[in-house]
Amino acid sequence: MILDIRTFYLLLTVGNIVMFGALMVFAKFSRLEGSLRLYAYAKLLQGLGMLMVFRREMFLGDFFIIMESALFFTGIFTEAFCLIYVGKQPGKRSMRIWSCGAVAVIATFSFLQMTGTTAWIIICFYAAIFAVTSLFIGIRLVFYNNDTKLKRFFGYFFLCMAIPHVIRGGDIVINHKGNVIFGSYSIQIAVLVFSYIHMLSSTMAYLLMSREIVDKELKLAATTDFLTGVTNRMQFTSLAKRMFALEIREAKSVAVFMFDIDNFKSINDSYGHPMGDRVLVHFATTISDIVRTEDIFARYGGEEFILMLPHTAIKEAEIIANRCKAIIARRLIEDDGIPSYTVSIGIAAMIPDNLDQLDLLIDQADQALLHAKKQGKNQFVKYTELV
């Protein structure tokens, strides 16, 4: 059974236009923002460009052919741009480069068409553009914008999608086939099949990568303090339980620091709440820069922060507390835009033997913090000093 190329081509055309409609509806009701609508318009441009091919019998002029190709190439470049920069904000320079690239391709095609270039060369030009854009998307997703396994997977997919266009271009150069748009030869059929797969899979790739980004943002919002960027209290509790369980198995000491920024209300009253927020961010950033990767640092509430350190005895905790105070003082000297502030610290440590002792350890650190505040602030107190 010989495949009806016109019908297959029409399905590809209608598929792009229907995809545009579906994506626009999806964009209206989904949480996906960014370039989703731009990606949808890329599909529309491709569909309209392909649709105009069916009217060549009525309008055979060069201008009509250039218009259909301009629409199609613009759609191809826009789709590639959206896939590469999904979840990212491209700079003005990147946008100019892509725009200039699309204009250069359209101008080159227009020159070939207007100068009466042989049809097989023009078809080869099409194949080269398809191959290059697929390769470029694949390379970017595999080697540059490759922060997740999903992006790398789709990157390899687009690299594979370039293969049939490379084969088609090579066949055209060797055999000079391709002067008939709807020619039913084997490589033409294969390319259309791969193009249909590409149409469906590229949209799936864009939506899945966009969804992955939204999920990461939601997870980050649920586990991170929105102002300081450090772990929030709920996430701290979850991570602390896991760490505590590990320390129980290994019979290692765990230390907890409770920090409180001294006279924080006075800072807000004197300098305003925006400056108070800057102080919180300054403190959180300072401590985050010195803690180890295995430590858990979180905003516990208001101007109070908590730090949990595995494999840390009380003597080591005392050294770390002194270091924290010294670094805060040094950073304040370096940054004269932040009003001077001090912190009080409560420290507790134990070798736990059951999970219930986690709350006890935090409570001990809190009691030590209260004692530090009562003794005049700007100091650390160990819970062992209270018993």
- The pair phi, psi for residue 309, each rounded to 5°, is -120, 115
**How many residues are listed for the chain in this entry?**
387
| Contact criterion met (CB below 8 Å) for 198 and 21 | no
- Ranges 55-64, 108-117, 158-167, 216-225: which has the least confidence: 55-64
Element (H, E) at 310: none
pLDDT(55) > 70? no
Please give the distance of CA 258 from its chain centroid, rounded to a whole number.
33
Contacts of the segment 265-273: beta carbons below 8 A, 24+ positions apart: 267/339, 267/341, 270/339, 271/339
Contacts of the segment 105-114: beta carbons below 8 A, 24+ positions apart: 105/73, 105/77, 105/129, 106/66, 106/69, 106/70, 106/73, 106/74, 109/66, 109/69, 109/70, 109/73, 110/66, 110/69, 110/70, 113/62, 113/65, 113/66, 113/69, 114/62, 114/66
Q: In order of start, what are the domains of the chain with their CATH numbers?
A: 5-222 (1.20.1070), 233-385 (3.30.70.270)
| Contact criterion met (CB below 8 Å) for 368 and 347 | yes
- The type of residue at 273 is H
The per-residue pLDDT for 92 is 85
| Contact criterion met (CB below 8 Å) for 306 and 288 | no
The per-residue pLDDT for 59 is 52
185's tokens: 């030869």
| Contact criterion met (CB below 8 Å) for 79 and 46 | yes
Q: Is residue 309 classed as helix, strand or coil in its secondary structure?
A: strand
The per-residue pLDDT for 167 is 84
Band of residue 64 on the pLDDT scale cut at 50, 70, 90: confident
Instruction: For the beta carbon of residue 73, count every other beta carbon within 10 angstroms.
Output: 23
* 11-50 residue pLDDT tens: 888 888 999 999 888 888 776 666 788 899 999 999 988 8
Q: Is residue 181 classed as helix, strand or coil in its secondary structure?
A: coil
pLDDT(56) > 70? no
Instruction: For the beta carbon of residue 230, count every other beta carbon within 10 angstroms.
Output: 24
351's tokens: 């070798």
* 192-242 residue pLDDT tens: 778 888 888 899 999 999 888 888 888 888 899 999 999 999 999 999 999
What order of strands is seen across the sheet that includes strand 254-261? 296-301, 304-309, 254-261, 343-350, 380-382
- Ranges 16-25, 154-163, 209-218, 293-302: which has the least confidence: 209-218
pLDDT(187) > 80? no
CA distance 6 to 4: 6
CA distance 369 to 387: 14
List, in sequence order, the alpha helices (H) in 224-350. Answer: 233-250, 264-271, 273-290, 314-334
pLDDT(291) > 50? yes
